[in-house]
Structure 1
Amino acid sequence: MSWEDALDYCNASGLLRIESKDDQIETERELRRQKISEPVWIGLRQSRLFGFWMWANGPNVGSWTNWKGGRQPEHQISHHCGVMEKVDGTFKWTDEDCRSTFRVLCEIR
């Protein structure tokens, strides 16, 4: 599903927000347990107006991040949505075209 469809799908709890290394480790553990290795949508979205990255439920990305290459992406206008992508055995955050189709990770409430 697209990022917007994923947002609708996770309506009750929201798309996954990763705010710490512990959150990242727990999420990766679950992805490995379920044998998921392809990219998955998370709640990251780039502000089209200002260019900074924020979580779908409002707050800006905090001081802890896990970007592929060590820094947030600065790509084409259409790549405004965030995924976790497996890179060298670990999952990193990166951007994708919001219309791309991936699995989704929702928050657990």
Structure 2
Amino acid sequence: MVLTARGEVDMASAPYLRDRLQGEIHHAGPDLIANLNDVSFFGAAGLDVLADVREAASLAESGFCVVARTRKILMPLRVTGVGLGARRLPRPRPHPHAALVPDRTSVAHLRERPS
């Protein structure tokens, strides 16, 4: 399941994002992917959301990852350690019907920190 967030992720929008993401977590169900490529602002409340969703997915024995390509999303994930396991994916081949293909995309597999 892929959910795409657009606009700003701040204190006002974070509860809605948390509810939407957590509503798609199913026990041992399909992995959940949060696509943040269209997010224009990513505040500390967004980090809290991702940490909460990561924990809920772990409890449900489901996978959770974040797709992002901009520094404003990737840096907070890396600096705080929320994005443990982040890796850059190769540029996808253009699909003949695609209007726009992103230049860079990273995926952060959100996992618990090792003890």
TM-score of the superposition, structure 2-length normalised? 0.34
Q: Which has the larger radius of gyration?
A: 2
Q: 1 or 2 for the larger relative contact order (CA 8 Å, sep ≥6)? A: 1
- TM norm structure 1: 0.35
Which of the pair is proportionally richer in helix?
Answer: 2
